[in-house]
Amino acid sequence: MSLSDAGLREHVRGVILERLDQSEDRRRDAVSEFMGVTMGVGSDISDRAAQLVPPLMDELYEKWVGLFVERFFETVPFEQIELLCNGTKENNAALCLVYVMFLESERMENQIDEDLRAYGTKMSGADDTGDLAASYIRAKMAQMGRTLKKHKVN
Question: How far apart (Å, rounded) are the C-alpha atoms in residues 80 and 103?
Answer: 21
Residue 1, pLDDT score: 44
Residue 81, pLDDT score: 96
SS3 sequence, the chain?
Answer: CCCCHHHHHHHHHHHHHHHHCCCHHHHHHHHHHHHHHHHCCCHHHHHHHHHHCCCCCCHHHHHHHHHHHHHHHHHCCHHHHHHHCCCCHHHHHHHHHHHHHHHCCHHHHHHHHHHHHHHHHHHHCCCCHHHHHHHHHHHHHHHHHHHHHHHHHC
Our count of domains for the chain comes to 1
Give the closest residue to 71 by CA, choosing from 103, 93, 97, 94. 103
Contact indicator for 108, 67 with CB cutoff of 8 Å: yes
pTM of the model: 0.68
Residue 56, pLDDT score: 38
Residue 22, pLDDT score: 57
Residue 28, pLDDT score: 65
Pick out the chain residues at pLDDT < 50. Answer: 1, 56-57, 153-154
Give the residue numbers spanning the domain of 142. 5-153
Residue 136, pLDDT score: 66
Please write the tens of the pLDDT for every residue from 102-138: 988 899 988 887 887 777 676 655 556 556 666 666 6
Residue 132, pLDDT score: 65
